[in-house]
Amino acid sequence: MKNIDSFGHVRGESLFVDDITTLQGTLYGVTFDSPKAHGTIKNIDYSTAESLEGVVKIFTYKDILGENQIGGIIPDEPLWAEGEVHFIGQPIAFIVATSEAIAKKSRALITIEIDEKPVITTAKEAKEKGSFINAPRSFKLGNTTTSFSNCKYVIEGETFSNGQEHLYLETQGCYAIPMENGNIKITSSTQGPTSVQKTVAKVLGVSMHKIEVDVIRLGGGFGGKEDQATPWAVMAAVAVQNLKKPVKYILNRHDDLRMTGKRHPYESTFKIGLSKELKIQAFEVEFLQNSGAAADLSPAIAERTLFHATNSYFIPNVTTTVHSCKTNLPPNTAFRGFGGPQGMFVIEAAIAKAAEEIGVNKKKIQELNLLSENDEFSYGQIATQVEIKNSWTSAKSNFNSAKLEEEIVNFNNKNAQYKKGLSFMPITFGISFTNTPMNHARALIHIYQDGSVGVSTGAVEMGQSVNTKMLQVASETLGISTSKVKLETTNTTRVANTSPTAASATADLNGKAVLKACNSLIDRLTTVASALLAVDKDVIEFKNNMIYANQQQTSLTWEKVVEQAMFERVALSENAHYATPIIHFDKSKEKGHPFAYHVYGTAITIVTVDCLRGTYEIDAVKIVHDFGKSMNIGIDVGQVEGALVQGIGWMTLEEISYNEQGQLLSNALSTYKVPDVFSAPKTIEVLPLKTLGNEQAIFKSKAVGEPPLMYGIGAYFAIQNAVKEFNPNYQLKFDAPFTPEKVLMGLYEE
């Protein structure tokens, strides 16, 4: 089944926030943000800006009736700055005018004086100065101290991985309208409608039931709208509360790039110990997460870094520590993989460095240390239904990696200017919100009396096709064609108290709720059908829009049963709740069973480096991926391809750059390079691994949204291998992204 939005998208008919027909009298907002990264506000002069014709009001913290606080995990972030500013782009005021152009013009007329304070832009500097978001976290397994002394090889090193801009096609935005009795309805481009509702209520000083949040779909989120869609909606809502007029606020690309956080840059140091047989015995790592100026989701992201610090390997002695370092950058936030990629990059770097120093192929160490059934992760979960070795050997055999490697050797022998490199990248990614209480969802299903069906869930459609999957679950469970089922918008009045659409778990959580609701409805309708057909309930089945009895199709249609149920006053609506069983985690011990299951896979990446220019091409990425039993292979392969290219972009091209004053230099697409059709791999092959799937996954179809991003890490090491081929003096560096400039330096370093 195709994505149900595909026709609407290509015809430009799908609705996004900016497409909503605006009401008469709609006003437009724009943010005035800090021009300095750190300091005390001495004076702001709004007078000229305010007197511009068409400017209705300029809002500041003084206009807030509730709390000036939007921090989700830690209350450390004001909506609008009061006395101090902590990053360039920090919102200070909100200008509301009769047009966006006037609001922008007004913004340019505001003058501000700031007493500047020292600016911190790197995590290392923050750590040196003791500037942290919260206390560090550590996971421990075995005893690293004693085990290093028993290792034949001990290797240390450091890594850096840069941030990444989400670059959702649809920028942040919302449209808020006043309803009766002080109620407000907000259409928001958010992954977390409930967070928006909750934070708006808090800042406005009203109850949550006065705020309705509706989400049609997002033009991409990638984590960037898990938390950071909220402030704009809150600003618009404050204005609506005050002015009682509709307020629309869509950020332009420059404002969005400057004011929003990105993937967290990480600076890390590692120590890895191996036995004579190349078994990894011990691994220690200290992660410095550049959190930016406020917590946002940083503590949760830091936690997931620890969960994935050993990637797909079993290591008996592990000590990992993460510091969330407070800097004067926009608060960094969720981005596909949620700290996992940053963790995995470090262990892959450690293995690469160990291989180099020992003088063996990296692949050999990787292969020897892959997880086995019943191995323990550093957080206490025991690995079960482990597919990592299967995916690895399947990638080797299906893609004939021995031959690929031989071809590369031949190519490199024959070519002086061009060198090829190959890498293996295994991934093991845990599915569930690491914060156990977030793993729940609800669905509300209406069967209308004509037999058509409306499905509401807490899932937000953002291109990952969750709506298509929800529709599949409903139509399959009810035994009716997909054309009879409609996915409603995601709305807090229909499905409340939702977790954000994140952690790749949306289809599982919401899908299980849809399944439960549909099963309850089918149970009721079976009673009706059994009476109509005068057969036992347990011989009845609903399929192909018909009722079957004893596997024989009867003449009874779906519509007829629904009509009869209506006549008999049987409830045709159902609300179901699902909470993931088996998961738990004890933060005081840093042990538990946080994940419902893991997703596995292996990617082989082949690149060609132009050793004159330092440029490179990704020739091919060949992947064996564990989909479980995919319920929609077209959609799932699309997720693998998209995530892979996004991961390659993070590792190779996308270079976020702030200067020492905390100013974003890569503030446009002319200075920030994302993968395009030329830099994407020339071929991507994705083979599904044959597995039984997992009971916790909806229809045993495993979560797919984030895990494949980490295949992109393979590109870094493939390029590194090619550089080594050209320049034997090249000293391994782990400084991502591996841009052509860095490649060129590496090719010619002495």
Interface residues toward ligand HPA, by CB under 6 A: 226, 297, 300, 304, 334, 338, 433-435, 438, 502-503
Residue located via tokens 């991961």: 647
Can residue 576 be called a binding residue for ligand MOS (CB under 6 A)?
no
Q: Closest distance between ligand HPA and the C-beta of residue 20, in Å?
A: 27
Q: Which of residues 211-240 bind ligand MOS (CB under 6 A)?
A: 223, 226
Can residue 304 be called a binding residue for ligand MTE (CB under 6 A)?
no
Binding range to ligand MOS, per CB under 6 A, among 98-106, 335-343, 470-478, 734-742: 335-343
CA-nearest of 172, 605, 699 to 395 is 605
What dihedral do alpha carbons 616, 618, 619, 621 form, nearest 10°? Answer: 160
Query: Which residue of the set 165, 267, 348, 706 is catalytic?
Result: 706
Return the structure tokens found at 86.
Answer: 């902590």
Nearer to ligand MOS, 245 or 469 (CB): 469
304 contact choice in ligand MOS, ligand MTE, ligand HPA, none (CB below 5 to 8 Å, kind-dependent): ligand HPA
Angle at 516 between CA 515 and CA 519, to 5 degrees: 85
307 contact choice in ligand MOS, ligand HPA, ligand MTE, none (CB below 5 to 8 Å, kind-dependent): none
Q: Kind of pairing, strands 485-487 and 91-97?
A: unpaired
Instruction: Write the burial class of residue 2 (CB in 10 Å: 0-12 exposed, 13-18 middle, 19+ buried).
Output: exposed
Can residue 399 be called a binding residue for ligand MOS (CB under 6 A)?
no
Q: Kind of pairing, strands 153-161 and 266-274?
A: antiparallel
Contact 203, 234 (CB under 8 A): yes
Instruction: Write the burial class of residue 1 (CB in 10 Å: 0-12 exposed, 13-18 middle, 19+ buried).
Output: middle
Q: Classify 475 in phi/psi space as left (phi over 0), alpha (psi -120 to 50) or beta.
A: alpha
Binding range to ligand MTE, per CB under 6 A, among 119-127, 178-186, 461-469, 574-582: 461-469
Q: Kind of pairing, strands 153-161 and 27-33?
A: unpaired
Q: Closest distance between ligand MOS and the C-beta of residue 501, in Å?
A: 7
Amino acid found at 562: V
Q: Which of residues 631-670 bind ligand MTE (CB under 6 A)?
A: 639, 642
Please list, in sequence order, all residues whose beta carbon lies within 8 angstroms of the beta carbon of residue 325, skipping any fewer than 6 positions away. 123, 124, 126, 127, 131, 132, 133, 288, 289, 290, 291
Q: Closest distance between ligand MOS and the C-beta of residue 263, in Å?
A: 9
435 contact choice in ligand MTE, ligand MOS, ligand HPA, none (CB below 5 to 8 Å, kind-dependent): ligand HPA
> Could you tell me where the beta strands, DSSP code E, fall in 350-432?
418-431
* Count of positions (residues) in the chain: 750
Question: Is residue 706 flagged as an active site residue?
Answer: yes
Can residue 161 be called a binding residue for ligand MTE (CB under 6 A)?
no
Binding range to ligand MTE, per CB under 6 A, among 16-24, 60-68, 113-121, 502-510: 502-510
3-class DSSP string for 506-535: HHHHHHHHHHHHHHHHHHHHHHHHHHHHCC
Q: Which of residues 263-322 bind ligand MOS (CB under 6 A)?
A: none
635 contact choice in ligand MOS, ligand HPA, ligand MTE, none (CB below 5 to 8 Å, kind-dependent): none
Options 34, 191, 310, 490; binder of ligand MOS; rule CB under 6 A: 191
Contact 353, 372 (CB under 8 A): no
What dihedral do alpha carbons 371, 377, 381, 384 form, nearest 10°? Answer: 0
Binding range to ligand MOS, per CB under 6 A, among 9-17, 333-341, 348-356, 383-391: 333-341
Options 46, 222, 249, 716; binder of ligand MTE; rule CB under 6 A: 222
Please list, in sequence order, all residues whose beta carbon lies within 8 angstroms of the beta carbon of residue 194, skipping any fewer than 6 positions away. 213, 458, 492, 496, 497, 498, 499, 500
CA-nearest of 159, 151, 149, 599 to 347 is 159
289 contact choice in ligand MTE, ligand HPA, ligand MOS, none (CB below 5 to 8 Å, kind-dependent): none
- Residue 716 main-chain phi, psi, to 5 deg: -60, -45
Options 141, 234, 334, 583; binder of ligand MOS; rule CB under 6 A: 334
Total residues at the site for ligand MOS (CB under 6 A)?
10
Can residue 221 be called a binding residue for ligand MTE (CB under 6 A)?
yes
Contact 67, 202 (CB under 8 A): yes
Options 217, 264, 336, 353; binder of ligand MTE; rule CB under 6 A: 336
565 contact choice in ligand HPA, ligand MOS, ligand MTE, none (CB below 5 to 8 Å, kind-dependent): none
Options 268, 464, 477, 491; binder of ligand MTE; rule CB under 6 A: 464
Taking CB atoms, the residue at the shortest distance from ligand MOS is: 223
CA distance 564 to 525: 9
Alpha-carbon torsion 335, 337, 340, 341, what sign? negative
Can residue 335 be called a binding residue for ligand MOS (CB under 6 A)?
yes
Can residue 608 be called a binding residue for ligand MOS (CB under 6 A)?
no
Q: Closest distance between ligand HPA and the C-beta of residue 159, in Å?
A: 22
714 contact choice in ligand MTE, ligand HPA, ligand MOS, none (CB below 5 to 8 Å, kind-dependent): none
Q: What DSSP letter does each residue of 404-422 carry, written as one string?
A: HHHHHHHHHHH-SSEEEEE
464 contact choice in ligand MOS, ligand HPA, ligand MTE, none (CB below 5 to 8 Å, kind-dependent): ligand MTE
Binding site for ligand MTE (CB under 6 A): 220-223, 336, 462-464, 466, 501-507, 639, 642, 703, 705-706
Q: Indicate which residues carry an active-site annotation.
A: 706
Binding site for ligand MOS (CB under 6 A): 191, 223, 226, 334-336, 338, 502-503, 706
